[in-house]
Amino acid sequence: MRIEVSDQTFKRLQALAKPLIDTVEDVMVKLLDFYAADKEANGPQRQPVEAPQGVASRPRARESLNGFKQELWELVVQKLPSTFSLHDVYKHMEPLVKLRPHVQKMEATIRNAMQRLRDMGYVEFLDRGEYRRID
């Protein structure tokens, strides 16, 4: 399932997140938990006005890597500086091409795998095509 939010809403969500820990989903869960607890405490008619401050984050276990994601992580991403661009990944993709010569659209496959690595908590998306490795 994919949820799209405006840039303004995304910035508001980021303000509630713990840097390098929380995903957008984590922040949304915090908000849902906050509203559910508030509803229980104050009855169904009261709607909270402000977003929660300092709501504890649920620990999110880092999923283990396998397949292409693991190869991309080990052969390329871990060898790059902690902050890098998608272009940097493309410049160092030769080991992946040798390992998987049957992949016809390697750059598209890398982009998809980078999104998965982001979703799994291995990298943080900073800006268009810019990432930070989370060690």
The Cβ of residue 131 has, within 10 Å, a number of other Cβ atoms equal to 23
What does the pLDDT look like over 61-96, one tens digit per residue? 456 888 889 999 999 999 999 999 999 999 999 999
> All domains of the chain, ordered by start, with CATH?
1-60 (no CATH), 67-133 (1.10.10.10)
% of the chain residues with pLDDT over 70: 67
Q: Are 123 and 114 in contact (CB under 8 A)?
A: yes
Task: Tell how strand 83-85 and strand 123-127 pair up.
Answer: unpaired
| Three-state SS at 73 | helix
47 — pLDDT class (breaks 50, 70, 90): very low
Closest listed residue to residue 106, CA positions, set 116, 122, 124, 94: 94
Which value, in Å, is the radius of gyration of the alpha carbons in the chain? 19
Model pLDDT, residue 59: 36
